[in-house]
A and B are shown apart, each in its own frame.
Chain A
Amino acid sequence: MATGVAAWLPFARAAAIGWMPVANCPMPVAPRDNSKRQDELIILNVSGRRFQTWRTTLDRYPDTLLGSSEKDFFYNDESKEYFFDRDPDAFRSILNFYRTGKLHYPRHECISAYDEELTFFGIIPEIIGDCCYEEYKDRKRENLERLQDDQEEHKDQKLPNMNFRQTMWRAFENPHTSTMALVFYYVTGFFIAISVITNVVETVPCGSTANQKDMPCGERYTVAFFCMDTACVMIFTVEYLLRLFAAPSRYRFMRSVMSIIDVVAILPYYIGLVMTNNEDVSGAFVTLRVFRVFRIFKFSRHSQGLRILGYTLKSCASELGFLLFSLTMAIIIFATVMFYAEKGSSSSKFTSIPASFWYTIVTMTTLGYGDMVPKTIAGKIFGSICSLSGVLVIALPVPVIVSNFSRIYHQNQRADKRRAQKKARLARIRISKSSGTNAFIQSKRNGPLNELLELTDKEEDEQKLMRSISLLESQHHHLLHCLEKTTAHEFVDEQLYQQNCLETALQAYPSRSPSVSSHESSVHTCCCRRVKRNTPLPNASLASAHQSSLQELSAIHIQCHDPLSHTASRSNLNLKTDNRSRINCKSGRITTAIISLPAPPALSPDGDGLHGPMQRRPPPPPSHPTTPSIPTTTSSAGTNIVKVSAL
């Protein structure tokens, strides 16, 4: 039942009294309406703009937010109104929906914003009235196309595990992926051009030899042209076979337009090879050479514009069909008329209606060769009408085709532009995000300091304010920290990570940690990771490695036991071990000033809150080299990190 008619339900029920006298059996009991209350005005406060309406208006659509009890969640007791923190402009049309039963789409609204509002208020967009529905659907489709374009780029990402066949296919489809592909692309393009030019030049008269008249070049330099042709066909055949091999779905590839063009382009040559040179089939053979010109279509792989043109023609098929149909009708009509008009005149070229077709076509397309002209007055009158109407008939569908082409072309342009802009956009986004992560990492280092200060010196507010982070930030950082603890991994700075991974190969640290275990890989990764911590870590390449400057602080250093010793064998867990080692390192970073950290974390898994990161270490007692991540090197980014506790 249409909800708009719900207002008439009481009336229909009342009118049911008319059935009572004729009824033979007793009536069922009516449902009780316990929530009988007087209709009241409800105030809806949407971002400060107050809307008021009757409660019954909202109750008309009980499956939406406003019509159901869901709005009670938004009730503000003090001000006795329902407060929604949404866009008041969009809310207007939503409230009008309740009032009039018709949902309208305001044209100036962004389509996705409007969709979100509708979803929030629980209204399905299909209810949009007919007046606005088309516009809504058009905008939605445009938006989807735009989003799809963005998603298609991800197709180009190189998947880690592509086999040779897939790589080759990707190289064929997108030449910019690798140098080889680019080379191949240009080579084929070059040979297509050569082939086409050869075909053309072949027919040019090359100058006469002494005894013969002008011969086309093809017949004069038969061998040369034959070699050229052979070379081109070789290349094309190889290309086709390679594509066939690399195609993910061979059957579909063979059916595609481009492959058919490829086949048609090279087939005449092979057929020519097979056929002998006898007279009766050579005629057919000559005809086959015409198909060589199809090689020019192979350029469409190289040119996007050509593809767009082809796609446009395909999408305008109906307009083209209409054009053709109307032209045919007009041609037949005018040809008939002209034939009968010119029948009387002598030596008329209009010998039959089909003969008049030629005149009509030439006239309607405003060519006017002049090989056939009407001579009678009637013929001339009708001829002029024919040419005038020809202009009209042709002019009508052309703008449709043009606008289609323009739309598709611009869409492509937009896609290219977006792709170019996307890189810049992503870079900017990355920067802003990394500054966020950096803040976290900074705060991690400073966190213990802050906490310590809080513990020790409550009066010194200014110190606390020195590193004032907002409550939101600190809560966020705490959350990230919890995640780190959960996974026993840590966040690090990307640049540092990369930088250090490079450096690790170059650095060598003499010091040797007491508990150095000869787990080069683990150490390596350990150092590698640690490097991110702004401390140039010892190079993992040295088994003995690193401990570096830790020596000085060895008294207070916590030995980072590296559980990696046990995981060294699992090479593919490098990443994990990295993190774990990092954690170790982290705990090892302790400055002398603050606290002397007790036993190595491995031994006291969770003894004190100061060994946060250790807790998640797997049981096997680590025996790892101390990770020299200690900021002995205050050199690191100048951050004098005081790490009291990891937690």
Chain B
Amino acid sequence: MGLDGMEIIAIAVVIGLFVFVLKQFGVWELVSLEDSCDSDLELSMVRHQPEGLDQLQAQTQFTRKELQSLYRGFKNECPSGLVDEETFKSIYSQFFPQGDATTYAHFLFNAFDMDRSGSIRFEDFVIGLSVLLRGSVTEKLRWAFNLYDINKDGYITKEEMMAIMTSIYDMMGRYTLPTVRDDSPFQHVEKFFQKMDRNRDGVVTIDEFIETCQKDENIMASMQLFENVI
């Protein structure tokens, strides 16, 4: 008698079970042994040790004790010695719960990460802080210019400024008074360019920037605001 449909299926099922049992006994390995190695790769994480205390002291304006205290805080938060962008964004966002600080954090990250390595090391961190807290006004203004200049080409274009401005307004969130209108960033950028762009060429150079800021009393006063943060 010929095999009919059900019997074929039955025999197929039996063979399948047989194979399954064989696999369990390790007699027949259809999958290579490499699977087990995957997990080992995860172990070695990137770690970074900073330069010595003396070099950092030479590079920055902080005292030894301040550097020690800064490093302890830094290392506590990031035991591996490196801050990647995601961690940085999440940390920074916690200070601005109402709005979305991720874009601005991205720009900030790039401003600190001077060698574009994708992660902030302690040296970047402390050098940036040194400029912001202990540097001269010119240095601070340079730093701010560097922040606004997204592609680091030495010119702030309207688009770059627009991006920065939008990200700053994003941090405000929705619940503000008066409400942030859609063109508020644009208006702000216009005002900025009117003030800064002397030669009306559509871009702001570093010299225009510094010169304009030095003439503005408000800006000069506010630059001194965070002198004693550390």
Task: Please give the distance in Å from A526's CB to the nearest CB on chain B.
Answer: 74
Q: In the complex the two chains form, is A10's CB within 8 Å of B223's CB?
A: no
* Residues A1 and B97 in contact in the complex (CB < 8 Å), given A22-B168, A39-B69: yes
| B133 part of interface (Cβ distance < 8 Å) | yes
Q: In the complex the two chains form, is B144's CB within 8 Å of A20's CB?
A: yes
Q: How far is the CA of A376 from the CA of B144 in the complex (A)?
A: 86
* Residues A56 and B221 in contact in the complex (CB < 8 Å), given A5-B94, A5-B95: no
Q: Among residues 370 to 392 in chain A, which have CB atoms less than 8 Å away from a CB atom of chain B?
A: 376-378, 381-382, 385
Q: In the complex the two chains form, is B221's CB within 8 Å of A27's CB?
A: yes
Q: In the complex the two chains form, is A26's CB within 8 Å of B69's CB?
A: no
Q: In the complex the two chains form, is A18's CB within 8 Å of B108's CB?
A: yes
Q: For residue A388, which residue of chain B has the nearest CB?
A: B17
Q: In the complex the two chains form, is B10's CB within 8 Å of A377's CB?
A: yes
Q: In the complex the two chains form, is B9's CB within 8 Å of A26's CB?
A: no
Q: How far is the CA of A32 from the CA of B17 in the complex (A)?
A: 76
| A4 part of interface (Cβ distance < 8 Å) | yes
Selected contact of B219 from candidates A18, A21, A38, A56, CB within 8 Å: A21
Selected contact of A340 from candidates B6, B141, B192, CB within 8 Å: B6
| A418 part of interface (Cβ distance < 8 Å) | no
Interface flags for B189-230 (1: CB within 8 Å of A; 0: not) read: 001100000000000000001000100001101110110111
| B76 part of interface (Cβ distance < 8 Å) | yes
Q: For residue A36, which residue of chain B has the nearest CB?
A: B228
Chain B residues, CB < 8 A from A381: 10-11, 13-14
- Size range of the chain A interface in the assembly: 35 or more
Q: How far is the CA of A418 from the CA of B92 in the complex (A)?
A: 55
| B165 part of interface (Cβ distance < 8 Å) | yes
Q: For residue A22, which residue of chain B has the nearest CB?
A: B192
Q: How far is the CA of A24 from the CA of B165 in the complex (A)?
A: 13
Chain B residues, CB < 8 A from A100: 76
| B4 part of interface (Cβ distance < 8 Å) | yes
Selected contact of A9 from candidates B14, B95, B143, B192, CB within 8 Å: B95
Selected contact of A13 from candidates B13, B128, B229, CB within 8 Å: B229
Q: How far is the CA of A21 from the CA of B143 in the complex (A)?
A: 11
| A426 part of interface (Cβ distance < 8 Å) | no
Chain A residues, CB < 8 A from B140: 17
Selected contact of B229 from candidates A14, A21, A29, A54, CB within 8 Å: A14
| B129 part of interface (Cβ distance < 8 Å) | yes
Chain B residues, CB < 8 A from A29: 225
Chain A residues, CB < 8 A from B108: 15, 18
Q: How far is the CA of A381 from the CA of B18 in the complex (A)?
A: 13
Chain A residues, CB < 8 A from B14: 381
Interface flags for B5-28 (1: CB within 8 Å of A; 0: not) read: 011011101100100000000000
Q: In the complex the two chains form, is A22's CB within 8 Å of B165's CB?
A: yes
Chain B residues, CB < 8 A from A377: 7, 10
Q: In the complex the two chains form, is B229's CB within 8 Å of A23's CB?
A: no
Q: In the complex the two chains form, is B168's CB within 8 Å of A19's CB?
A: yes
Q: In the complex the two chains form, is A10's CB within 8 Å of B143's CB?
A: no
Q: How far is the CA of A36 from the CA of B230 in the complex (A)?
A: 9
Interface flags for A25-56 (1: CB within 8 Å of B; 0: not) read: 11101101100101100000000000000101
Q: In the complex the two chains form, is B222's CB within 8 Å of A14's CB?
A: no
Chain B contact residues, majority secondary structure: helix
| B86 part of interface (Cβ distance < 8 Å) | no
Interface flags for B50-80 (1: CB within 8 Å of A; 0: not) read: 0000000000000001000100111011000
* Residues A18 and B222 in contact in the complex (CB < 8 Å), given A5-B95, A344-B4: no
Q: In the complex the two chains form, is A14's CB within 8 Å of B144's CB?
A: no
| B150 part of interface (Cβ distance < 8 Å) | no
Task: Please give the distance in Å from A348's CB to the nearest CB on chain B.
Answer: 13
| A210 part of interface (Cβ distance < 8 Å) | no
Task: Please give the distance in Å from A10's CB to the nearest CB on chain B.
Answer: 5
Q: How far is the CA of A7 from the CA of B78 in the complex (A)?
A: 11
Q: How far is the CA of A13 from the CA of B73 in the complex (A)?
A: 15
Chain B residues, CB < 8 A from A39: 65, 69
Q: In the complex the two chains form, is A14's CB within 8 Å of B13's CB?
A: no
* Residues A7 and B229 in contact in the complex (CB < 8 Å), given A18-B147, A23-B218: no
Q: For residue A338, which residue of chain B has the nearest CB?
A: B6
| B188 part of interface (Cβ distance < 8 Å) | yes
Task: Please give the distance in Å from A88's CB to the nearest CB on chain B.
Answer: 23
Chain B residues, CB < 8 A from A24: 188, 191
Chain A residues, CB < 8 A from B223: 17, 20
Q: For residue B212, which residue of chain A has the nearest CB?
A: A21
Chain B residues, CB < 8 A from A38: 65
| A2 part of interface (Cβ distance < 8 Å) | yes
Q: In the complex the two chains form, is A18's CB within 8 Å of B65's CB?
A: no
Chain A residues, CB < 8 A from B213: 21
Q: How far is the CA of A127 from the CA of B113 in the complex (A)?
A: 34
Q: In the complex the two chains form, is A15's CB within 8 Å of B132's CB?
A: yes
| B180 part of interface (Cβ distance < 8 Å) | no
* Residues A18 and B7 in contact in the complex (CB < 8 Å), given A1-B97, A10-B230: no
Selected contact of B222 from candidates A12, A27, A32, A56, CB within 8 Å: A27
Q: In the complex the two chains form, is A23's CB within 8 Å of B111's CB?
A: no
Task: Please give the distance in Å from A458's CB to the nearest CB on chain B.
Answer: 64
| B155 part of interface (Cβ distance < 8 Å) | no
Q: Among residues 396 to 431 in chain A, which have CB atoms less than 8 Å away from a CB atom of chain B?
A: none
Q: In the complex the two chains form, is A11's CB within 8 Å of B125's CB?
A: yes
Chain A residues, CB < 8 A from B97: 1
Q: In the complex the two chains form, is B129's CB within 8 Å of A25's CB?
A: no
Q: How far is the CA of A99 from the CA of B178 in the complex (A)?
A: 42
* Residues A56 and B69 in contact in the complex (CB < 8 Å), given A4-B77, A340-B6: yes
Q: In the complex the two chains form, is B65's CB within 8 Å of A378's CB?
A: no
- 3 closest A-B pairs by CB: A378-B10, A14-B132, A27-B222
Enumerate chain B interface residues (CB-CB to A < 8 A).
4, 6-7, 9-11, 13-14, 17, 65, 69, 72-74, 76-77, 91-92, 94-95, 97, 108, 111, 125, 128-129, 132-133, 140-141, 143-144, 147-148, 164-165, 168, 188, 191-192, 209, 213, 218-219, 221-223, 225-226, 228-230
Given contacts A17-B132, A17-B140, A36-B228, 10 further A-B contacts (CB under 8 A): A5-B77, A8-B73, A18-B147, A19-B168, A23-B218, A24-B191, A26-B221, A27-B221, A100-B76, A376-B6
A-B contact pairs, 5 of them (CB 8 A): A17-B223, A27-B222, A36-B228, A100-B76, A340-B6
Enumerate chain A interface residues (CB-CB to B < 8 A).
1-2, 4-5, 7-27, 29-30, 32-33, 36, 38-39, 54, 56, 99-100, 340-341, 343-344, 376-378, 381-382, 385
